[in-house]
Amino acid sequence: MSTALPYDPQQLKHRAGEIIVNVRELAAAGWTPATSSNFSTRLDDRHVAITVSGGDKGRLTEADIMVVDLDGQPVATDQRPSAETLLHTQLYSRFAEIGCVLHTHSRNQTVASRLFAGTGHVHLEGYELLKAFTGNNTHETAIELPVLPNSQDMHTLAAQVDALLDRQCMWGYLIDGHGLYAWGRDMAEARRHLEAFEFLLGCELELRKLHR
Ligand SMILES: CSCCC(=O)C(=O)COP(=O)(O)O
Ligand SMILES: [Zn+2]
């Protein structure tokens, strides 16, 4: 006897393939070292496809992508979702339009998170690449990328993110000594935001090396 799944398995297959292809490229760029990072996409208004906890994210297969509900509870599986699932589901729960959340641990992201933890944000201004963020259409603007203190308690981190989202519209944040979260309406938009943050953080770090 087969039990009907509460989500569309074809949609899961499609979204899992999308995660695998994109994450392989992010891993090849060195942004997912030592089993770090996690990735998710929305399946429908109640379900999210997310990477399982642990393992080399550069070698994901369909078996490494599972389904959770918006409370982060596994659906029709006994696999263990990412330890940081709450940081994904809080965004899907809060914004119906968010379709993809990407979290990476590149060197630039991690170094910048340490360097700017004291000020609580990274000021990004005057760059043409700011136009990569949905809603921006000029370089004559600035965004503040928040830097949150790290915690092993996801509820503490999620509360900090919620407090920020109450105050500002944003496409990502850094966690001190940890990495970057970025999101968008779909994989393409989330990846564009992630790559833009990575590039701009690299520029800010390089400028500091040049003492500017
Ligand atoms: C060795 S990485 C430490 C955990 C982490 O920050 C991360 O991004 C990966 O956690 P997950 O449970 O999603 O594998
Ligand atoms: Zn992490």
> Tell me: the pLDDT tens digits for 48-60?
999 999 999 999 9
Whether 15 is covered by a domain: the verdict is yes
Rounded mean pLDDT of 5-23? 98
Tell me, in angstroms, the distance from the centre of ligand 1 to residue 9's CA.
26
pLDDT in tens, 106-165: 999 999 999 999 999 999 999 999 999 999 999 999 999 999 999 999 999 999 999 999
Closest residue by CA, ligand 1 atom 2: 36
112: enclosing H helix or E strand: helix 107-115
Tell me if 63 is assigned to some domain: yes
SS3 content of the chain, % helix, strand, coil (to 5): 40, 20, 35
The amino acid present at 168, given as its one-letter code, is: Q
Answer yes or no: is 101 within a domain: yes
Ligand 1 neighbourhood includes 56 CB (under 6 angstroms): no
Take atom 5 of ligand 1 and give the residue whose Cα is closest: 36
State whether residue 110 is helix, strand or coil. Answer: helix
Domain count, the chain: 1
> Of 78, 76, 77, 18, which Cα lies nearest the Cα of 42?
18
Answer yes or no: is the C-beta of 41 below 6 A from any ligand 1 atom: no
Tell me if 139 is assigned to a ligand binding site.
Answer: no
pLDDT value of residue 2: 54
pLDDT at residue 165, as a whole number: 98
**Cα torsion angle, 31, 35, 41, 42, sign:** negative
The verdict on residue 176 lying in a domain is yes
Note down the domain range covering 143. 9-209
Q: With respect to residue 1, please indicate whether it lies within any of the assigned structural domains.
A: no
The residue nearest atom 6 of ligand 1, judged by CA position, is 36
82-122 pLDDT, tens digit each? 999 999 999 999 999 999 999 999 999 999 999 999 999 99
Distance between CA atoms of residues 188 and 208, nearest Å:
30
Q: Whose CA is nearest to atom 13 of ligand 1?
A: 82
Residue 2 lies in a domain: no
Residue 13 CB coordination number (10 Å): 13
Choosing from 32, 36, 148 the residue with most ligand 1 atoms within 8 A of its CB, the one to mutate for a pocket test is 36
Note the pTM of the prediction, 2 decimals: 0.98
The CATH number of the domain where 162 resides is what?
3.40.225.10
Distance 178 CA to ligand 2 centre (A): 6
